A and B are shown apart, each in its own frame.
Chain A
Amino acid sequence: MRFFNKQKQNMKVKRGGYTLVELLIALFISTLLAIAVSQATTSLYSTYKNVYALREIESGAISILDRLTREIKNSTSIDLSNSVLDSDSGRVSLNVASSTGSYNTKIYLSNSRLYISRDGIELGPLSPSDVKVTLVNYSLINSNNNTATGLRVELVLESPDNSPTDWSKTFYATAIMRGTY
């Protein structure tokens, strides 16, 4: 800024500091930069939260539907008295009879999470803790071939509460009870 002063004799005075105008301009520019940085940081954070939320939904869908279809394909019959079909908060109870023994698997909704139990003993949740299962609907497939039926599953997963965008994604799966073959 000192080049504004063309007279050499003024230099000594100038060296002492900046003028008020210079400081104000500098402050103004610094404020603009600070605002830009803070906005970038905010958008970075919300983008990160969104990416995280979607990733949790995706991994939740994969872990739930992979396990669910595997359990259905494994099963021999459906225990209708302990299942809730065609409901938005459905549950399913599957019987498995194999050469190594018989057991029962239940998959049920509790506090917006899906849990699995075997012979009444809880094995744990199927989905990440911060993904909400807002809908799980099981439908039995009508079949004129009674030996081969299965289930169709509709699953809606919602993002965690702190996600900037309220994501809600629907996934579908169908699996035939291979044990009925």
Chain B
Amino acid sequence: MIYLYQKNKGSLLIEVLVATSIIVTAVIASVGVFGTMAHLSYKNTAKIQAAFLADEGIEATKTLRNASWNTNIKNLTIGTKYYLYWNNHSWNINASTTMVDNQFVRYFTLYNVYRDASFNIVASTTSGSSIDQDMRGLIMNVQWSDEAGTSTKSIDTYLYNLFSN
């Protein structure tokens, strides 16, 4: 009885410590979750940099298109990877891997655009369709690696022989 009476008087020091330890462990674990979140958010900047690089790639191919469609775009092999690099105030195309800031790889591939008799863009399998020689499909890719593997951002658009040059 005396024991029970004593028990009701309050918590033992050890009980308070056990409770505190459990709470502290829970708090530290939640800090760990925050750390994981922070780690993910550190990776976010690369995505934004890659998005701008892809966007820049589109404009860069357009400067090449503007300069001369026949010289710069028309002769490129469909499906081949081409890399862009900035040199001497102009955009240039390279067939071997070219890095941006030793972190990103930016390359593009071209594909043929097919049109039907009414000049609508159609699938290559459509009967009676033919390749539009003044247009190419353009896929701009930016690739980078982190510990989780390789990520890619792509933009798919069209290039047109705007200046008939």
**A interface residue numbers (CB < 8 A to B):** 1, 11, 15, 18, 22-23, 26, 29-30, 33, 36-37, 40, 43-44, 47-48, 50-51, 54-55, 57-58, 61-62, 65, 69, 139-145, 147-150, 152, 167, 169-176, 181
**B89: A residues at CB distance < 8 A:** 139-142
- Interchain CB contact under 8 A, B90 and A142: yes
**B interface residue numbers (CB < 8 A to A):** 2, 6, 12-14, 17, 20-21, 24, 27-28, 31, 34-35, 37-38, 41-42, 44-45, 48-49, 52-53, 55-56, 59-60, 62-63, 66-68, 86, 88-91, 100-101, 162-163, 165
* Cα A149 to Cα B60 with chains together (Å): 11
- Interchain CB contact under 8 A, B66 and A36: no
The verdict on A51 contacting B41 (CB below 8 Å), with A33-B20, A145-B68 known, is yes
**B91: A residues at CB distance < 8 A:** 141, 174
B57 to chain A, nearest CB (A): 8
- Interchain CB contact under 8 A, A33 and B31: no
**B100: A residues at CB distance < 8 A:** 172
- Interchain CB contact under 8 A, A47 and B38: yes
The verdict on A61 contacting B14 (CB below 8 Å), with A145-B163, A150-B63 known, is no
